[in-house]
Structure 1
Amino acid sequence: MYRDTNLDRDFSILSKNRDAFILIDLNGNIEYASHACEPLLGYSRDTLQQLSLNKLFNTDFLAPGHTFFKGREQGRLDNFDAQVQVIEGSILDVNISSMPIFFEKDFLGSYLVLKDITSIKQNRLTTEREKEHHALINSLSRLSEKQATAGQLAAGIAHEIRNPITAIKGFLQLIMGEYDGSKVYFQIINSEIDRIEIILKELMVLAKPSKQKYESVNLQVLLDQVITLMVPQAHLNNIHIEKQFDFTNTCILGDNNQLKQVFINYIKNAIEAMPDGGILHIHGSPIVDRIVKICISDQGSGIPPELLNQIGQPFFSTKENGTGLGLLVSRQIIKEHKGDIYIESDPTGTSIHVKLPLPSLK
């Protein structure tokens, strides 16, 4: 193709077309631009005819040998999306229909029709976001159904197990009182019964949360009490607890016993995550918008990324004999206290962050 003063006359029929189109030669130079290109791209036709493809189009879309010439060997129409750098410096999403131009058997260039697809891409993006939103809603719905099912199942299990366990424990105490030999096996059995009762208690909280008694709770005092309770277990596992509280006399509104249960669960999990010992960090600090955050960090091997999102679901646990109910109940308690938790984990350890709101100022 050659630049020619007669080009407008030669393409007079095409120039009346409402579509924006350009003609390009084999070197990627624009030989002709229709009138419809001016309002679409912002350039005058004279300016366009001085540009090359790599000046007009986003070069990320220009494959080696030019995508615009892809159909030349087959002599067929090619269609693809691209981006144009319009005159004010912004980017325009366009769809390109490219048709090779031949003279006899010689390939001369391509005829490119440009269509603005910005609104189409926005609608496509909106549709994708709506699909993601619906998928999230469905996922949360399934989780709620799963929790409701777990609650119903928990109530039935607790009811069926509690009575025989009470009888077993009573008879065990009678036998222990009459037996004069070593009672080490009895103590093991008794401790396992106690463990079953703890699981039953967690099941009952899951099935029917206990009525909360809201009062002013001194958060530092509560955490000190929990840590004092957990220090012996930590020492048995060669774990040192380091605490740092950047608040004093900070009170929240909540149920003292339930909040203790939450932090006992989290510290217990952190201890169990370090079978070879280590340091357990407990850090509390106020943050913006009258929120206080408590972080419990261990030095365990961490939670695999593919399992992290499942933590806190009913009956899912990374521990061999775990029920998964402790974290589920804890999350439920924090949620009822208008708080939030999130977990971070990598091969160097796991951190549980608990956020709780402070009472509003009057």
Structure 2
Amino acid sequence: MERDEIKRLNFLLQIYIDVNVDKDFSVLSKSADPFFILNMDGQLVYVNDVCETLLGFSIPELLQMRLSRIFLSTSLNESQTFFFEKGREKLTNFDAKISMRPESLMDVNVTAFPILFNKDVVGSYVVLKDITQIKKERQLLSEKQAVAGQLAAGIAHEIRNPITAIKGFLHLMARDYHGEPMYYDIVESEVARIEVILKELMVLATPIKKKYEKLTISSLLDQVLALMESQMLLNNIQVDKKFSFLEESILGDGNQLKQVFINYIKNAIEAMPNGGSILIEGSITEEKHAQIRIIDQGCGIPPDMINRINEPFYTTKEYGTGLGMPVSYQIIEEHKGKIDITSSNKGTCIEVSLPTFYKIK
């Protein structure tokens, strides 16, 4: 890129910061996760207070630094201005090591996504998360899920027997029922809905025997999209597939993984009640993991909700059970995978990372 062009983009980035970030219109809260803004030269041009605390440098010191002062050179590209084999034009997430004060290293999870201004990519937001803290949060979530699982097992057991009786007598009564058919249909559909909820409760409560087999990733995703095709057409949703893997495989339970991706795509559809586009990206990382990203154009998820989204029974939907996300999280964890969710007012990205078949072996 020509030097004059870089100067122009850096100038536009400063305008963006002056207009948006300093007036609290940023997509990120100043008091949320540690983040900084990076210009096209690899220079830090904005740093929030939380980042100052994490790195142990003052904000004036950080604003004199380049990316190469914080990240190990192995994480950066040849020009040392951005991350190794990561594009500025799209959201990217990976683990890396950073330098802190006093001179020490920290393992962090990095999320970088582009800043667009006047249709140009003028810089990047870079969000950091202490991996140690992430592990603590996952442990706490695991403990909560264990307690919720025991509760769910008890609830499901108590409800299952009477529901079975109600369903049986309902079918007997239907033979002699001559009233409005709609009333019977409503009762039957509601009983079926209760059975679906019970099934989800049992998935959360007790481990189900899984059938692990070699699965071609692209075929699995194509089958999921075929199942969701009618729902997407009804909701005026377009799908853009960008898979860079061909015959790579994972080892897993096909039905359970389909359940996960159907749930995430369904959530993406519901996030766009007026229609829109869903981007599904797929690639293989350097660590030989299959990385699948489902990106919608909805209004986004508030930060306080993202932190609770995998909690059992937590939902903001009028008819939601609060079980879809925690069940999906549990399935991916059991497949030795990871889930990362990032969101802004322009949409949400759910990223699923699963070890490939030869990685598992």
Query: What band does the TM-score fall into relative to the shorter chain?
Result: 0.5 to 0.7
Q: Greater relative contact order: 1 or 2 (C-alpha under 8 angstroms, separation 6 or more)?
A: 2
Q: Which residue of 1 aligns with 2:247?
A: 249
Separation in structure 2 between the aligned mates of residue 137 and residue 296 of structure 1, nearest angstrom? 24
Separation in structure 1 between the aligned mates of residue 161 and residue 261 of structure 2, nearest angstrom? 30
Aligned positions of 1:21-170 closer than 5 A: 140-170=138-168
Give 3-state SS (helix, strand or coil) of 2:357's partner.
Answer: coil
Give the 4+ runs in structure 1 shifted more than 6 A. Answer: 132-138
Cα pair distance change 1:242/1:191, threshold 3 Å: farther
Cα pair distance change 1:184/1:240, threshold 3 Å: farther
Cα pair distance change 1:343/1:323, threshold 3 Å: same
Is the aligned partner of 1:353 residue 2:347? no
Q: Which residue of 2 aligns with 1:267?
A: 265
How far apart are residue 140 of structure 1 and its match? 4.9
Q: Which residue of 2 aligns with 1:299?
A: 297
Instruction: State the TM-score, normalized to the length of structure 2.
Output: 0.60
Cα pair distance change 1:135/1:360, threshold 3 Å: closer
Cα pair distance change 1:170/1:263, threshold 3 Å: same
Separation in structure 2 between the aligned mates of residue 176 and residue 192 of structure 1, nearest angstrom? 15
Separation in structure 2 between the aligned mates of residue 257 and residue 140 of structure 1, nearest angstrom? 25
How far apart are residue 138 of structure 1 and its match? 6.5
Q: Which residue of 2 aligns with 1:203?
A: 201
One-letter code aligned to 1:254: G
Separation in structure 1 between the aligned mates of residue 142 and residue 283 of structure 2, nearest angstrom? 32
Separation in structure 2 between the aligned mates of residue 282 and residue 141 of structure 1, nearest angstrom? 29
Q: Which residue of 2 aligns with 1:312?
A: 310
Give 3-state SS (helix, strand or coil) of 1:217's partner.
Answer: strand
Question: 1:176·1:183 contact (CA, 8 Å) conserved in 2?
Answer: no
Separation in structure 1 between the aligned mates of residue 243 and residue 132 of structure 2, nearest angstrom? 41
Question: 2:214·2:357 contact (CA, 8 Å) conserved in 1?
Answer: no
Separation in structure 2 between the aligned mates of residue 284 and residue 136 of structure 1, nearest angstrom? 24
How far apart are residue 255 of structure 1 and its match? 0.8
Cα pair distance change 1:182/1:242, threshold 3 Å: farther
Question: 2:240·2:277 contact (CA, 8 Å) conserved in 1?
Answer: yes
Runs of 5+ in structure 1 lacking a partner?
Answer: 1-120, 127-131
Separation in structure 2 between the aligned mates of residue 146 and residue 354 of structure 1, nearest angstrom? 22
Question: What are the Cα deviations for residues 219-262 of structure 1, in whole angstroms up to 9, with x where unaligned?
Answer: 22211111111111222222223323222222111111111111
Question: 1:338·1:356 contact (CA, 8 Å) conserved in 2?
Answer: yes
Larger radius of gyration: 1
Residue in structure 2 matching 1:232, options 225, 230, 233: 230
How far apart are residue 303 of structure 1 and its match? 0.4
How far apart are residue 290 of structure 1 and its match? 0.9
How far apart are residue 136 of structure 1 and its match? 7.1
Cα pair distance change 1:182/1:279, threshold 3 Å: farther
Separation in structure 1 between the aligned mates of residue 136 and residue 253 of structure 2, nearest angstrom? 32
Question: 1:231·1:241 contact (CA, 8 Å) conserved in 2?
Answer: no
Question: 1:242·1:281 contact (CA, 8 Å) conserved in 2?
Answer: yes
Cα pair distance change 1:122/1:244, threshold 3 Å: closer
Is the aligned partner of 1:183 residue 2:181? yes
Question: 2:271·2:296 contact (CA, 8 Å) conserved in 1?
Answer: yes
Instruction: State the TM-score, normalized to the length of structure 1.
Output: 0.60
Runs of 5+ in structure 2 lacking a partner?
Answer: 1-100, 107-129
Q: Which residue of 2 aligns with 1:84?
A: none
Tell me the matched-pair count.
Answer: 237
Q: Which residue of 2 aligns with 1:106?
A: none
Cα pair distance change 1:207/1:173, threshold 3 Å: same
